[in-house]
Amino acid sequence: MQLKEETNRVVIRNKPDSFKIRVAKDFRRNSMIYLMLLPVVAFYAVFHYGPLYGLQIAFKNFSAGLGIWHSPWVGFQHFSDFFNGFFFERVVSNTIILGAYDLIFVFPASIVLALLLNEVRHRVFKRTVQSITYIPHFISVVVVVGMLVDFLSVDGLINQLVTYFGGKPISFMRLPEWFRTIYTSSAIWQGIGWGSIIYLAAISNIDPSLYEAAKVDGAGRWKQMLQITLPGILPTVIILLILRIGSFMALQDEKILIMYNPVIYETADVIGTYVYRKGILEASYSFSAAVGMFNSLINFILLIGANYLSKRFTDTKLW
């Protein structure tokens, strides 16, 4: 095999094969590999690129009888309907606010946890905290929201404590002003531990001699954390931040869908849940495909923008 490749290479150097010949040779040599890749490629073609083909209904008036291809074009009709619609402001601003909460509170939480865990000298304690905080990542959204609903109900655990301390029971899940707090804090609960793994990995790659040098210079632990650990994981933070910004408008829609109810739509209804109601429940396929596309486009623009800014001002980039 080694020998054959050597001779191949010699041949290539003498007389470059044409593209066709190279394709044919590659196919002959790797036919079995391509056979193995066939189901994978077919899967991506059908289930990932197929829906992209179907996205054209955002610019059409889809009717099931005519099918995707033959349905009549309507241009940007559905987009303008959405922009001028009654719910546009509500769903877009709710999405942006929840996205911002996520970026401000949920995203840094894992970084802080990683920094704190890194300062723990007792190995067993550190590992125990890690094992415990990873657990919620594996718990289903239905169970998480189920527990939220139960603990926060009018005579649930939290209100039992509230009344014990002399307060009045609060109907948390039915008050619009509580939704964002509940959504965001439960997101921290779900993800803080799991998110810290990647930062702990980055911390373990920091050159230990940097800490030695800092100690010689008389830097305390707090200073070492801010001046060595934090800069050491900055590239990781930036990469994850770019990715996070690229999904700024992609919230945990499924979680919101089981958390919300019409009474709190005013703060809880977001683009994702609106697409679900319009598309799946009311069968306005074209309209909700357009709304969904609007959301993905914004995410994509944000991703490119964040990557561009990062390339411009730091050395870190996604591509």
Question: Scanning residues 235 to 254, which ones bind another protein (CB under 8 A)?
Answer: 236, 239, 246, 254
Supply the minimum distance, in Å, between the C-beta of residue 96 and another protein: 19
Supply the minimum distance, in Å, between the C-beta of residue 52 and another protein: 5
- Which residue type, as a one-letter code, is found at position 104? I
Site for another protein in 7-46 (CB under 8 A): 22-23, 26, 29-30, 32-34, 36-37, 39-41, 43-44, 46
Q: Which residue carries 């002003």 as its tokens?
A: 177
Closer CB to another protein, 142 or 309, in the complex: 142
Site for another protein in 80-139 (CB under 8 A): 113, 116-117, 119-121, 125, 128-129, 131-136, 138-139
Site for another protein in 299-318 (CB under 8 A): 300, 303
Strand-pairing partners, residue 73, are 60
Site for another protein in 130-159 (CB under 8 A): 131-136, 138-143, 145-147, 149-151, 153-155, 157
Closer CB to another protein, 2 or 84, in the complex: 2
Supply the minimum distance, in Å, between the C-beta of residue 300 and another protein: 6
**Residue 313, burial from CB neighbour count under 10 angstroms (0-12, 13-18, 19+):** exposed
Site for another protein in 164-203 (CB under 8 A): 164, 169, 171, 173-174, 189, 192-193, 197-198, 201-202
Give the interface size with another protein as a residue count (CB under 8 A): 100
Supply the minimum distance, in Å, between the C-beta of residue 85 and another protein: 17
CA distances from 61 to 65, 70, 93, 157, 185 (A): 11, 10, 27, 50, 41
The reply on whether position 51 binds another protein by CB under 8 A is yes
d(CA 33, CA 136): 39
Q: Which DSSP string do the residues of 163-186 spell out, in sequence order?
A: HHTT-----GGG-HHHHHHHHHHH
d(CA 98, CA 256): 11
Helix axes 123-134, 176-204, angle to 10 degrees: 140
Supply the minimum distance, in Å, between the C-beta of residue 139 and another protein: 6
Helix (H, G, I), strand (E, B) or coil at 155: coil
Supply the minimum distance, in Å, between the C-beta of residue 144 and another protein: 9
Supply the minimum distance, in Å, between the C-beta of residue 90 and another protein: 19
DSSP assigned state of 107: H
d(CA 246, CA 240): 10
The reply on whether position 66 binds another protein by CB under 8 A is no
Helix axes 176-204, 141-151, angle to 10 degrees: 130
